[in-house]
Amino acid sequence: MPAGRGSECEDCTWEKSFNRRVRIHVEEFENAITRERFSEFCQWLREQMGSHKAALKLKNYLPFFSFLDAHCLGLPSYVALLDHFSAEGLRRMQTPMLWLKTRYGVEADGVLRKEHSDKRRIEEILGSVPAGVGADTLAGYRAYLLTKQGDGSTTIRSVRLSLRAAKSVLAAASSAFDTLPKQKAVTAYLAQTPGQRAAAQGFISYLNRTRSLNLKAEVSERAIARAKNHKLEAALYSMYTAGGEGEAFERTWIKTSLILLHGVPSVNKKSLSYSPFSVQGKAGFNVVLKAKVYWVPGPTYRPSFMSESTAPT
């Protein structure tokens, strides 16, 4: 027996503590069937993780059994659990969900969980836009997309992705979401995020049909390249003005510089090899990438393209 324990070992202490907490918490439930299920869960929990860990974690699961107490006529379905806790909430209730599966055969449904997550994110997208033109337009677009989902021509995930792109198009027109986009805003958005063209095209077509607009979901490769370069320049300017240091900072600087100054399509900043090297008195780095050597200026040198206009807007 360890010193200071008296006549009781640590395991016995935690078992008494666990049993005491069970007796206290079980009285929080109104219905006898819930108290019975909670007691059953507690014994199962102790078998799974021991008295010590079970005693410490028991309180975390009380909201789960409070919900069961409200459905005392029978065990709730997985859909009901999703509606109450959400997919994120059920992830925090994995232990009682495992008990439900083991004891009562209540199975989690991965498809339903993903659908529920998509629906929640859709509501978050709509809720993040203030009342007005933007919110009304998004609501109408959602109604249209849900009609397509109803006839099987699209999925709830596609609805979410389309609404996210639609919100971004509206934000490109006005951060206050108080106006419909004009061609200039649409072109600028597509140039900056060319990968979103397919998702945004449906919304642009919807605007043309319902708001009598004549927007085009087209952007030139030259405009895309120009927007990409501006983004890279802004990133370098931000790092330059921040004056960071250390290997992680240097690797990020070098990666961005290689893409901008040498047109390297992709760079794994963790695997590249580099060393300090000055050229004509300008500090920089020699970089070895795929058997080729490149030189890039260091973060203490201000390249000619860096100006106040390069700063992020």
Cα–Cα dist 264/272, whole Å: 13
Helices (H), 27-109: 32-57, 62-69, 78-91, 94-104
Whether residue 218 contacts residue 156, with contact meaning beta carbons closer than 8 Å, is answered with no
Cα–Cα dist 115/98, whole Å: 21
Position 307 scores a pLDDT of 54
Position 290 scores a pLDDT of 82
- Count CB atoms within 10 A of the CB of residue 68: 22
Give the H or E element holding residue 296: strand 292-297
- Sketch the domain layout of the chain as residue ranges: 10-108, 113-210, 226-310
Position 313 scores a pLDDT of 47
* CA-based radius of gyration for the chain: 29
- Count CB atoms within 10 A of the CB of residue 203: 26
Burial class (CB in 10 A: 0-12, 13-18, 19+), 304: exposed
Position 305 scores a pLDDT of 62
Cα–Cα dist 89/83, whole Å: 10
Position 122 scores a pLDDT of 95
Tens-binned pLDDT, residue by residue, of the chain (313 aa): 555 555 668 888 899 999 999 999 999 999 999 999 999 999 999 999 999 999 999 999 999 999 999 887 678 888 888 888 888 888 889 999 999 999 888 888 888 888 988 998 999 999 999 999 999 999 999 999 999 999 999 999 999 999 999 999 999 999 999 999 999 999 888 888 888 888 899 999 999 999 999 999 887 778 778 888 888 888 888 888 887 888 889 999 999 988 888 888 878 888 788 998 888 888 889 998 887 899 998 887 666 666 544 554 4
Stated pTM of the model: 0.63
Name the residue type at position 80.
Answer: A
Angle, helices 62-69 vs 78-91, to 10°: value is 170
Per-residue b or e along 234-248, where b marks 16 or more CB atoms closer than 10 Å to that residue's CB:
bbbbebbeeeeeeee
